[in-house]
């Protein structure tokens, strides 16, 4: 019963098979292989327009490198205080951007709004004394399991674009957002004003695979040098390309996401059958945040269930916010077993 993260589970068998197939013979090095080239073509098909796409190994690298293309060192990127670039990447975005300021904004449900962004922008009026706002980064699905609709994304783009700012999307769980909204990848990205995104695959079935995808081709100029300088140009690039092609083939990436989302929905519905458990945010992807009695949370952990507590100062002393993350590989029986355990311990 491991709900700690979707990172704890392994690689999808179809991707493992693709790695085994590419392991024989030879191929050109440094992303000059056919697999890497076809990955960009396939991502263009997925997004229904020609994109520039560069494969990297981690989401941290994808985010930092993406942001480095939209802001100089004296710039600022606005994001949510729960976002990975603000809390979880050890100042990596500041490193890749040469010192740009990552400015976290608090907002309900893990999502920024135009009003919150606009209020912050109105405080940055001291000319050269303030960092220059150069972009906004949103996370879809968010760190709290909520998703931005195309209209919400477009509203943010409409606010910042007249100011010369760019919109970045952290898509570590982008597949879960697309599956949750049942819309097209294009609707959630370039059609809604996204300029560049970190396209995640590792959490959803790959071994180690992310892509920096540019919808604004001008931002991709010289990116190959940025990737090389960051140590993200993999010499045996075919292993990244083979993963991406298998991940996207026949919609595997969305099939995996729908499985994970469905298990999350089952878990959320089961928890809500208990009067002393509540779910404060909409359950829209593959993460469930539930407010549990602290005593119940401690009993569940002591019984072998794995999940994380999440900081929330608004809760009562005898409550805790628990995060459960479901994977395409989470055994369905584990969800049923866990809900049975909740019922037993919560009696």
Count of beta carbons in the 10 Å neighbourhood of residue 311? 8
Per residue in 255-287, pLDDT tens?
A: 999 999 999 999 999 999 999 999 999 999 999
Interatomic CA distance for residues 48 and 287, integer angstroms: 28
pLDDT at 316 over 90: no
Confirm if 277 and 271 have CB atoms less than 8 A apart: yes
pLDDT value, residue 313: 78
Phi, psi of 4 (to 5 degrees): -65, -40
pLDDT at 298 over 90: yes
27: pLDDT confidence band, cut at 50, 70 and 90?
Answer: very high
Angle between helical axes of 332-345 and 294-302 (0-180°, round to 10): 130
**Helix, strand and coil percent figures for the chain, each rounded to 5:** 45, 15, 40
CA-only gyration radius of the chain, Å: 20
pTM for the model: 0.96
The neighbouring-strand residues paired with 288 are 324
pLDDT value, residue 315: 85
If phi > 0 it is left, if psi is from -120 to 50 it is alpha, else beta; for residue 205 that is left
Mean pLDDT of 140-163: 97
Confirm if 169 and 189 have CB atoms less than 8 A apart: yes
Mean pLDDT of 144-165: 97
pLDDT value, residue 160: 98
Domains of the chain, first to last: 13-252 (3.40.640.10), 255-345 (3.90.1150.10)
pLDDT at 28 over 90: yes
pLDDT at 126 over 90: no
Confirm if 153 and 181 have CB atoms less than 8 A apart: no
> Percent of the chain having pLDDT more than 90?
95
Give the range among 73-87, 304-318, 327-341 with minimum mean pLDDT: 304-318
List Cα–Cα distances, 289 to 106, 137, 150, 152, 274, in angstroms: 18, 22, 23, 22, 15
pLDDT at 206 over 90: yes
pLDDT value, residue 42: 98
Mean pLDDT of 6-33: 95
User: In angstroms, how far apart are the furthest CA atoms of the chain?
Assistant: 62
pLDDT at 188 over 90: yes
| Mean per-residue pLDDT of the chain | 96
Mean pLDDT of 94-103: 97
């Amino acid at each position: 019963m491991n709900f700690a993260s979707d990172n704890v589970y392994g690689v999808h068998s179809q991707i493992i098979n693709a790695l085994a197939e590419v392991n024989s013979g030879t191929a050109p090095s440094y992303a000059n292989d056919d697999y890497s080239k076809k990955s960009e073509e396939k991502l263009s098909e997925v997004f229904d327009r020609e994109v520039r796409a560069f494969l990297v190994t981690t989401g941290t690298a994808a985010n930092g490198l993406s942001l480095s293309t939209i802001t100089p060192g004296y710039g600022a990127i606005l994001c949510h205080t729960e976002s990975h670039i603000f809390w979880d990447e050890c100042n990596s975005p500041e490193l890749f951007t040469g010192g740009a300021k990552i400015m976290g904004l608090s907002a309900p449900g893990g999502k920024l709004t135009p009003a919150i962004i606009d209020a912050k922008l109105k405080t940055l009026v001291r000319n050269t004394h303030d960092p220059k706002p150069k972009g906004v980064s949103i996370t879809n699905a968010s760190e709290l399991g909520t998703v931005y609709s195309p209209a919400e994304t477009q509203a943010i783009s409409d606010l910042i674009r007249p100011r010369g700012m760019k919109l970045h999307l952290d898509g570590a769980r982008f597949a879960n957002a697309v599956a949750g909204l049942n819309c097209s990848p294009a609707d959630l990205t370039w059609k809604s004003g996204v300029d560049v995104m970190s396209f995640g695959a590792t959490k959803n079935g790959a071994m180690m695979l992310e892509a920096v995808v540019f919808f604004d081709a001008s931002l991709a100029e010289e990116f190959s040098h940025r990737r090389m300088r960051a140590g993200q140009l993999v010499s045996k690039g075919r292993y990244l390309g083979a993963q991406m092609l298998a991940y996207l083939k026949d919609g595997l990436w969305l099939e995996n996401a729908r499985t994970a989302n469905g298990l999350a929905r089952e878990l959320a519905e089961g928890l809500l059958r208990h009067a002393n458990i509540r779910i404060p945010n909409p359950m829209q992807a593959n993460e469930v945040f539930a407010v549990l009695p602290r005593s119940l949370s401690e009993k569940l952990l002591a019984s072998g269930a794995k999940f994380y507590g999440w900081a929330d100062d608004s809760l009562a002393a005898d409550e805790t916010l628990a995060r459960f993350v479901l994977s395409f590989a989470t055994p369905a029986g584990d969800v049923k077993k866990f809900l049975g355990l909740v019922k037993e311990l919560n009696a």
